[in-house]
A and B are shown apart, each in its own frame.
Chain A
Amino acid sequence: MTKDRIDRRFAALKAEGRAAFVAYVMAGDPDAATALEIVKGLPAAGADIIELGFPFSDPVAEGPTIQRASQRALEQKMTLNGTLDIVRAFRESDQDTPIILMGYLNPLVNRGFETFAKQANDAGVDGLIVVDCPPEEADPLSDALEAEGLSLIRLATPTTDDARLPAVIRRTSGFVYYVSVAGVTGVKEADADAVAPAVERIRKASGLPVAVGFGIRTAERAAAVARVSDAAVVGSALIDEIEAATKLNENVTEKVLLKASELAKAVRSARVGTK
């Protein structure tokens, strides 16, 4: 029951009185080996949870940065199996850091939900975020994942009103992901003042920790969000480092992990306990 790994991590953070720093990177970006190196280095850089994107040809919820990451990964021939290989290799040296796969439904439909859930569990995946699978369509995937003890993390958004919230958090476990802006990843900036009441509402309704993402690019913003939520998710800002380092011919892994530690420090020093 690997969702326990998520529960244990949030329980430990609660005891520490701080929010989690969640780092998102894309499998296969800039290439399979470097992506593995980055993922392996993230816990030491301060990531409490890792979100690992699996690429899709048509990432409709992503802004330009993650679109490009997805494209680079596909050019490197990254696949669903390749993504699971990264998780498997990571688990050889880390049994504690939760890994959530994030992506789109079609590669999973193509694999078959049950087959995929077994393979993901074997590889050491803890949960899944599937952007284009709303609760209305989620039952078959939930069935398959739950049978393997994996969480299907649900997304709540600024358009999720009180009437809809119960449907959104039904059958969810691990945590709830609050998409802090109406938009694609990495473009608009989250407003911590507006995020706070939304997080509170979702916590109360779900009884689960609430992670906030989609609009956090800087250490300041990460700290502000960490003050009012249970986890701050950063993706595009880390991928920017991959692009910049590649362009300047610098060590990609070092640059990404440096950025990750800067963000992790900000989240840790926000000194806010989960309630």
Chain B
Amino acid sequence: MNAPSKPNDWSAQPDAKGRFGDYGGLYVAETLMPLVLELDRAYTEAKNDPEFQKELKGYLTHYVGRPSPLYFAERLSKHLGGAKIYFKREELNHTGAHKINNCMGQILLAQRMGKTRIIAETGAGQHGVASATVTARFGLPCVVFMGAVDVARQKPNVFRMNLLGAEVRPVTSGAATLKDAMNEAMRDWVTNVDDTYYMIGTAAGPHPYPAMVRDFQAVIGNETREQIQELEGRLPDAVVACVGGGSNAIGMFHPFLGDESVKIYGVEASGHGLGTDKHAASLTGGRPGVLHGNKTYLLQDDDGQILDAHSISAGLDYPGIGPEHSFLHDIGRAQYLTCTDDEALKAFQLCAELEGIIPALESAHALAKLPQLAKEIGEGGVIVLCLSGRGDKDIFTVADALGRTI
């Protein structure tokens, strides 16, 4: 097959059928088809409604705390030697991660659509907490599906969700992680079609989710563009973000896609290593297939069965990836690197020690590639890293991995 070509207008993606090149689409059970088509109509309408955008902006400013700062990580830059490194501080958002950007958009949309019950899936619990937060704020009941393994390794977030009034349903099927939580959320959705809105947390799933979540997260990249021009008087040489489903990454990347001078790096989790069966690098170690409503790169066996992913970071522990990343990977507009559990742990500690910021283990995967990228881009260059979340939730996992007790 011919390699797909770059589009002239990046904002024209996906097409009317929800395709980014060959990826995306809407592969859901017929019962859900009228719902996703209705969602597509409702979202298109909202997107073009200045009132909706104004309302969203109001909440992002006064409730979420946007814009998030763009911070020059001076000591880390000096330590690594090479390009100047900036952090886009998404971990300073209300609830401590980028996830709330998307949830705020979707809760306003759900209300506009007259939905009265919210369901969500969560891996690390960050999207679950963000969902529980906005549903508390707007007074809607919320059920969060979470793999039983993740419930165990992300206890603080489970408790947070409970405090916010959400019901957390542990999912025990499969490997009991994010993929299985998403399966269970889809089963709930198909069973409660009349009143329920499915708040997907990443830029994946059936159309229009990948495009919609990207649009809500693009506030990250849009702010970064303005801020870096104020600070440096120019665009960055590179942007870098961790990629599980890929919502913080696509939010950072998308506004820069048309800027040929800006290199784009996503970092996948390679767990115990790409040569093992314990990793979560769908692009680097998988191949295209269909799961959870979209066509995209997946970890799968010879018979097309989906494999269990592994990452020390619950938020990256997913065998698929958002379809737009698959497209960017194929056309070569973005490069996707990998980072092992051990590398992420080291970067986690380095960031805490040098910058006084405890990053999420997810974000630590992107941080781990900075030594390499800072050298490649070199002195006089500028790199922006999306610090997608704070790491307080991960301290138990990290302590465990370091053999310490808290």
> Which residues of A pack against B, CB within 8 Å?
55-63, 67, 71, 74, 79-81, 104-111, 131-134, 136-137, 154-161, 164, 168, 179, 182-184, 187-188
Q: Do residues B29 and A106 form an inter-chain contact, with CB atoms below 8 A?
A: no
> Which residues of B pack against A, CB within 8 Å?
17, 25-35, 173-174, 179-180, 183, 186-187, 190-193, 288-293, 295, 298, 300, 302-307
**Interface residues of A: mostly helix, strand, loop or mixed?**
loop
Q: Do residues B193 and A159 form an inter-chain contact, with CB atoms below 8 A?
A: yes
Q: Do residues A132 and B290 form an inter-chain contact, with CB atoms below 8 A?
A: yes
Most buried by A among B290, B293, B295: B290
**Interface residues of B: mostly helix, strand, loop or mixed?**
mixed
Chain A residues, Cβ within 8 Å of B295: 109
Q: Do residues B289 and A58 form an inter-chain contact, with CB atoms below 8 A?
A: no
Q: Do residues B34 and A74 form an inter-chain contact, with CB atoms below 8 A?
A: no
Residue of B nearest to A159 (CB): B34
Chain A nearest CB from B287 CB (Å) reads 8
Q: How far is the CA of A106 from the CA of B307 in the complex (A)?
A: 12
Most buried by A among B173, B186, B303, B307: B303
Q: Do residues A110 and B303 form an inter-chain contact, with CB atoms below 8 A?
A: yes
Known A57-B305, A134-B30, A182-B193; judge A106-B291 contact (CB<8 A): yes
Q: Do residues B27 and A110 form an inter-chain contact, with CB atoms below 8 A?
A: no
Q: How far is the CA of A134 from the CA of B35 in the complex (A)?
A: 13
Known A58-B291, A109-B289; judge A161-B34 contact (CB<8 A): yes
Q: How far is the CA of A63 from the CA of B34 in the complex (A)?
A: 21
13 A-B residue contacts at CB 8 Å? A60-B186, A71-B173, A79-B303, A106-B298, A106-B304, A107-B305, A110-B303, A136-B17, A157-B31, A158-B31, A159-B35, A179-B29, A182-B191
Q: Do residues A157 and B30 form an inter-chain contact, with CB atoms below 8 A?
A: yes
Q: Do residues A164 and B34 form an inter-chain contact, with CB atoms below 8 A?
A: yes
CB within 8 A of A58: which of B34, B179, B288?
A: B179
Q: How far is the CA of A79 from the CA of B302 in the complex (A)?
A: 9
Chain B nearest CB from A118 CB (Å) reads 17
Chain A residues, Cβ within 8 Å of B193: 159, 182
Q: How far is the CA of A106 from the CA of B289 in the complex (A)?
A: 6
Q: Do residues A134 and B33 form an inter-chain contact, with CB atoms below 8 A?
A: yes
CB within 8 A of A179: which of B25, B30, B179, B292?
A: B30
Chain A residues, Cβ within 8 Å of B305: 55-57, 74, 106-107
Q: How far is the CA of A202 from the CA of B300 in the complex (A)?
A: 37
Known A136-B17, A137-B25; judge A110-B30 contact (CB<8 A): no
Residue of B nearest to A56 (CB): B305
Q: Do residues B25 and A184 form an inter-chain contact, with CB atoms below 8 A?
A: no
Chain A residues, Cβ within 8 Å of B28: 132, 134
Q: Do residues A58 and B183 form an inter-chain contact, with CB atoms below 8 A?
A: yes
Chain B residues, Cβ within 8 Å of A67: 173
Chain B nearest CB from A101 CB (Å) reads 14
Q: Do residues B300 and A156 form an inter-chain contact, with CB atoms below 8 A?
A: no
Q: Do residues B30 and A155 form an inter-chain contact, with CB atoms below 8 A?
A: yes
Residue of B nearest to A79 (CB): B303
Known A106-B300, A184-B187; judge A58-B30 contact (CB<8 A): no
CB within 8 A of A60: which of B26, B29, B34, B288?
A: B29
Q: Do residues A106 and B290 form an inter-chain contact, with CB atoms below 8 A?
A: yes
Residue of B nearest to A134 (CB): B33
Q: Do residues A182 and B290 form an inter-chain contact, with CB atoms below 8 A?
A: no
Chain B residues, Cβ within 8 Å of A61: 29, 187, 190
Q: Do residues A133 and B33 form an inter-chain contact, with CB atoms below 8 A?
A: no
Q: Do residues A155 and B290 form an inter-chain contact, with CB atoms below 8 A?
A: no
CB within 8 A of B33: which of A60, A74, A104, A159?
A: A159
Q: How far is the CA of A61 from the CA of B300 in the complex (A)?
A: 20
Chain B residues, Cβ within 8 Å of A155: 29-30
Q: Do residues B29 and A160 form an inter-chain contact, with CB atoms below 8 A?
A: no
Residue of B nearest to A61 (CB): B29
Q: How far is the CA of A251 from the CA of B106 in the complex (A)?
A: 52
Q: Do residues A183 and B190 form an inter-chain contact, with CB atoms below 8 A?
A: yes
CB within 8 A of A184: which of B17, B174, B191?
A: B191
Chain B residues, Cβ within 8 Å of A55: 305
Chain A nearest CB from B197 CB (Å) reads 15
Chain B residues, Cβ within 8 Å of A105: 27, 290
| Given contact pairs A62-B187, A157-B31, a sample of 16 additional A-B residue pairs in the complex whose CB atoms are under 8 Å apart | A57-B306, A58-B179, A58-B180, A59-B183, A79-B303, A104-B290, A105-B27, A106-B289, A106-B305, A107-B304, A109-B288, A110-B289, A155-B29, A159-B31, A179-B29, A183-B191
Chain A residues, Cβ within 8 Å of B298: 106
Chain A residues, Cβ within 8 Å of B186: 60
Known A134-B27, A159-B33, A182-B191; judge A58-B290 contact (CB<8 A): no
Chain B nearest CB from A159 CB (Å) reads 5
Q: Do residues A168 and B30 form an inter-chain contact, with CB atoms below 8 A?
A: yes
